[in-house]
Chain A
Amino acid sequence: MPAGVGRTVEDLRLVNLTKQFGVSKAVDDLSITISAGSFFALLGASGCGKTTTLRMVAGLEDPTSGQVFIGEQDVTDLRAFQRPVNTVFQSYALFPHLDIFENVAFGLRRRGIKDVDAQVNTMLDLVELSALARRKPSQLSGGQQQRVAVARALINQPDVLLLDEPLGALDLKLRRQMQIELKRIQSEVGTTFVHVTHDQEEAMTMADTVAVMNAGRIEQMGHPADVYEMPRTIFVANFLGQSNLIQGTLASFGDVVEVAAFGLSFKMPSQRNVAPGHSVVVGVRPEKITVLDAHDETKLPSTHNRIYGTVTDVSYTGVSTQYLVETPWEQSIIAFEQNSIVGDRCELGDPVVLGWAPEHTFGLDPAEGIHAGLDRAVLELESDTEA
């Protein structure tokens, strides 16, 4: 879009941002910098403070303390209508009494711009809705309404575009389509997008930076792959994807850390261990694990970490096979095996050995409790499949 060329986009900075509702802190001393032009996802379960954060950036909620900067400008005390920020609302909030054209033109008209036709038409082209310009919002499908909401916000060329669960009301297929669409729009206009969602897959596919939020704080922030491959807290390990977590104690340190648990020993590079003390939670992602029949243990590289157990469940899902393996200490380990292996799969009741590379192992601080982030994530997952 030509409008996006040649304008400077500014960083968004939150400094010690706090929002207190009564006794509970919805957002707790949040300080982050979101660099200009990035696609930033704020990921968390409902009630974690992500929407409140977004509303404080938009100016729809006053922070209890802290500041919001756009570039060098402190916008904390500016009212919503004075901020160079626009929002795509969860329920779109299109004006039902105005047609699509007027909905999109709304922001321009309020700023006293008389000749809006060219800009509105360009914008409607961008979201491929030119043919429906004179329809009312109620005459549009959910996906179309969603695109109007994006167009209505983007036409104002905001420094930051805020998206509050913008795809939550769409069905799965449409959501995938809109994810691609939103990424395309973002790369065309170059505006900073701050996207709030509880859908981890959505956050990982769309964003170049993901921040996992829990109880008003950011648990971990970074490139989606980095956060996924090396979670820094039990909450992140459980909330973002799935993890197998085993409680152990530190046996030796050095460049390679060794953790002893249930008579076994797990190795990992020391920079992958963030546990401060002797008590360490060892973690590994399910798809990193190789499942082998106990007789074939020699096929595992000698450096691999390993666990012995019995297969209690096998589910074939097409691209992969999911195994549940029970360990002698009665913990269920989940493992995903790509269906690219020639030969037999392991079967129910088979004694197996699970192996994975030390480089895929991570060590976490057990203070949070081994189930942190788990129940909520499961709940969200269930509500997703219902939708």
Chain B
Amino acid sequence: MRWIREHVIGAIAVMVLLYLFLPIAVVIAFSFNNPASKFNLSWNEFSLDAWTQICGVPGVCSSFVTSVEIGLISTLFATILGTMISFALVRYRFKGRSSTNLLIFMPMATPEIVMGSSLLALFLNLSFPLGPVTVMIAHIMFIISFVVVAVKARLQGMDPRLEEAARDLYASPSATFRYVTFPLVLPGILGAALLGFSLSFDDFIISFFNAGTLVTFPIYIWGAAQRGIPPQVNALASLVFIAALVIVLSAQVVAWRKRKALAVR
């Protein structure tokens, strides 16, 4: 009885973690499957084919590369714009500031299906050709919101005395930005960029509306799901998961090292 009491929280935690990670485990496990039919749904036999011939299925790698490219470009633009917007919103008082503050959150609050279809209607009305550019425009739009939220929080949490100290120590306004403000806000910007990339990379609904004939990775998977998803998709998805894991773990290691250095003193 006592044993149960002491371990009940741990047991629940393990169950929740299982619930969260089981689907990912299945995805990874089935990347090593050699499916008996078109559908990679039941275990047949162990095989490294999907990993050795990761681009072996037509379209899978090109769509993956497309998504990475769109993600990188959209994130770059959205991060630059979002950072500038955050500085404007936090540092300056101007007409329309509060409404900008409000409107910037709209893409986060609007259902994706509404945003995707409205954008499509807009592009069609303007006779703007659908393709990578329209997808990027759409992605930049919603990533900006997340960047603004993250960078604004970072800026607002910054001690204004730090910038005053820099000015007091002979730093011109541009030097103050370069050597104090920017390095201090950078973690916020990087975090926002990572989040932005992952949002862009896995966006399906908005992309699907505005892609035209362009095939992103999520669109490819959606299409493949009708015919049977090849295990290469599992392998690529596993790669993405591992990449994300590596990023998170290295951040943890850095934090752990900092703590250790603190403990030494």
Chain A residues in the interface with B (C-beta under 8 A): 58-60, 79-82, 85-87, 89-91, 93-97, 106-107, 110-111, 135-136, 138-139, 152-153, 156
Bound: A136/B257 CA distance, A: 13
A106 near B164 with CB under 8 A, answer no
**Whole-angstrom distance between the alpha carbons of A110 and B168 in the complex?**
11
Given A91-B159, A139-B262: A152 in contact with B169 (beta carbons within 8 A)? yes
Q: How far is the CA of A139 from the CA of B259 in the complex (A)?
A: 10
Interface 9-mer from B32-40, B130-138, B170-178: B170-178
A-B contact pairs, 23 of them (CB 8 A): A60-B168, A79-B167, A80-B168, A81-B172, A82-B170, A85-B168, A86-B168, A87-B164, A87-B165, A87-B168, A93-B165, A96-B184, A97-B183, A97-B184, A107-B170, A110-B169, A110-B172, A110-B175, A110-B179, A111-B170, A135-B265, A139-B265, A153-B168
Residues of the B chain whose Cβ atoms lie less than 8 Å from the Cβ of A135: 265
Contact B167 A91 (CB under 8 A): no
CB-CB nearest 3 A-B residue pairs: A107-B169, A93-B161, A93-B165
| B195 within 8 A of partner (CB) | no
Q: Is B29 in contact with chain A by the CB < 8 A criterion?
A: no
CB distance from A118 to the nearest CB of B (A): 19
Complex Cα spacing A59 to B172, Å: 13
**A140 to B261 alpha-carbon distance, docked (Å):** 12
Bound complex: CA of A181 vs CA of B183, how far in Å?
A: 33
Among B170, B172, B179: residue with most chain A CB under 10 A: B170
By a beta-carbon cutoff of 8 Å, the part of chain B in contact with chain A is 159, 161-162, 164-172, 175-176, 179-180, 183-184, 261-262, 265
User: Could you tell me if A93 and B172 are in contact, using CB atoms closer than 8 angstroms?
Assistant: no
* Complex contact B168–A81 (CB within 8 A): yes
Q: Which residues of B contact A139 (CB under 8 A)?
A: 261-262, 265
- Please tell me if the beta carbons of B162 and A95 are within 8 angstroms of each other in the complex: yes
How many residue pairs bridge A and B at CB < 8 Å?
70
Given contacts A110-B175, A156-B170, contact A89 B165 (CB under 8 A): yes
Q: A81-B168, A138-B262 are in contact. List 18 more A-B contacts (CB 8 A).
A: A60-B167, A79-B167, A81-B171, A81-B172, A87-B165, A89-B161, A89-B164, A90-B161, A91-B159, A91-B161, A93-B159, A95-B166, A96-B162, A97-B183, A106-B169, A139-B261, A139-B265, A153-B168
Inter-subunit contact A81/B170 (CB<8 Å): yes
Contacting residue for A106 out of B159, B166, B172, B261, CB 8 A:
B166
A283 to chain B, nearest CB (A): 40
| Chain B residue nearest to A80 in the complex (CB) | B167
Q: Check if B180 sits within 8 Å of A95, measured CB to CB.
A: yes
Q: Which residues of B contact A152 (CB under 8 A)?
A: 169
B164 contacts A80, C-beta separation under 8 Å: yes
Q: How far is the CA of A90 from the CA of B162 in the complex (A)?
A: 11
* Best-buried of A82, A94, A97, A111 by chain B (most CB within 10 Å): A97
A85 and chain B: residue at smallest CB distance = B168
A296 to B176, CA, bound (A): 72
Residues of chain A within 8 A (CB-CB) of B262 are: 138-139
Distance in angstroms from A339 CB to nearest chain B CB is 44
The distance in angstroms between the C-alpha atoms of A82 and B162, with both chains bound, is 17
* Min distance, Cβ B159 to any Cβ of chain A, angstroms: 7
Tell me the nearest residue of chain A to B187, going by C-beta.
A97
- Chain B residue at smallest Cβ distance from A82: B170
CB-CB nearest in chain B for A107: B169
Closest to B158 in A: A96
Whole-angstrom distance between the Cβ of A95 and the nearest chain B Cβ = 6
B contact residues around A95 at 8 Å (CB): 162, 165-166, 180
Q: Give the interface centre of B162, B172, B262 by most chain A CB atoms within 10 Å.
A: B162
With A91-B159, A93-B161, A135-B265 as known contacts, state yes or no: A58 contacts B168, CB within 8 Å.
yes
Minimum CB–CB distance from B211 to chain A (whole Å) comes to 41
In this complex, the member of A90, A96, A152, A156 whose beta carbon has the largest number of chain B beta carbons within 10 angstroms is A96
**Which chain B residues lie closer than 8 Å to A80 at the CB level?**
164, 167-168
* Cα(A97)–Cα(B176), bound, Å: 13
Task: Across the interface, name the chain B residue whose C-beta is closest to A132.
Answer: B265
* A93 with B170: CB separation less than 8 A: no
Q: Which of A59, A85, A87, A110 has the most CB of B within 10 A?
A: A110
Contacts of B170 in A (CB 8 A): 81-82, 107, 110-111, 156
* Known pairs A93-B164, A139-B262; A86 contacts B183 (CB<8 A): no
A278 to chain B, nearest CB (A): 51
Closest to B265 in A: A139
* Chain B residues within 8 Å of A81, by CB: 167-172, 175-176
Q: In the complex, which of the residues A85, A91, A110, A136 contacts B171, with contact meaning CB atoms closer than 8 Å?
A: A110
Residues of B close to A82: CB separation below 8 A: 170
CA distance A233 to B239 in the complex (A): 78
Q: How far is the CB of B225 from chain A (nearest CB, A)?
A: 47
For the complex, give the distance between the alpha carbons of A153 and B179 in Å: 17
